[in-house]
Amino acid sequence: DARVTQTPRDKVTEMGQEVTMRCQPILGHNTVFWYRQTMMQGLELLAYFRNRAPLDDSGMPKDRFSAEMPDATLATLKIQPSEPRDSAVYFCASGLVIGSSTDTQYFGPGTRLTVL
Amino acid sequence: SQQGEEDPQALSIQEGENATMNCSYKTSINNLQWYRQNSGRGLVHLILIRSNEREKHSGRLRVTLDTSKKSSSLLITASRAADTASYFCATAMDTGRRALTFGSGTRLQVQP
């Protein structure tokens, strides 16, 4: 049963520290998404990749966040330096996009980040 | 900004009753999807309805789409305690950005 995996599941860190979150998309999927979920803002899209190329990272604070796909089996989201307002659950999702349609996305279990 | 807004924000029903959640959106869409999120877990895809469809069924789920009113509804029939979760609608736009835009969600509590 293929699924998206994310590590770590929980991360507690101090303000100013670097945080790296990792995601392994489902094999064969060509699109990877990073979302952030908070009580106040709900689910927000941070970035997404298609065939490993970044297509949209307009939702991401560029000065401290960066997202990459070094290869087809790994997506990373990095925050440097982290701030308390970055505390949230970060989800990775993958999907298979054919043509212009955006269909089902498969979500990982999330990384719960707490920045003290 | 969120494209979809769900109504109600919270819903509490008894097991066996039906639950209806509504979603409104603002722009032209290619498809609309419903996801479920159990507490502390990731989102799970439930059903997708395309802009040229009006109704779709999957097990105890029934989804309707009215593109003229830019609204959709999710009906869960014969609810069970295990249906307790948050439910989100998500829209895929017709042009431009290909990522989904999620609504604010409806928290459903099914009392045993």
pLDDT in 10s for each residue of chain A, 116 residues: 789 999 999 999 999 999 999 999 999 999 999 999 998 888 999 998 988 988 888 888 889 999 999 999 999 999 999 999 999 999 999 998 877 666 789 999 999 999 99
- pLDDT number for residue B15: 97
3-state secondary structure of A96: coil
pLDDT above 70 (res B36): yes
- pLDDT number for residue B97: 63
E strands within A8-103?
A: 10-13, 19-24, 31-38, 42-50, 53-56, 65-71, 74-79, 88-95
CB contact set of B97 (below 8 Å; sequence gap of 6+):
A56
Which of chain A's residues have a Cβ under 8 Å away from the Cβ of B30? 100-102
Q: What is the pLDDT of residues B48-100, one digit of tens each?
A: 999 999 999 999 999 999 999 999 999 999 999 999 999 999 998 876 666 78
Question: For residue B78, with 0-12 CB atoms within 10 Å meaning exposed, 13-18 middle and 19 or more buried, which class applies?
Answer: exposed
- pLDDT number for residue A2: 84
**β pairing state of A111-115 and A10-13:** parallel
Distance from the Cα of B17 to chain A's closest Cα (Å) equals 28
CB–CB of A102 and B45 under 8 A?
no
Beta-bridged to residue B14, according to DSSP, are B111
Locate tokens 């109600």: which residue? B8
pLDDT above 70 (res B4): no
Quickly state the pLDDT bin for B1 (edges 50, 70, 90): very low
Distance from the Cα of B22 to chain A's closest Cα (Å) equals 17
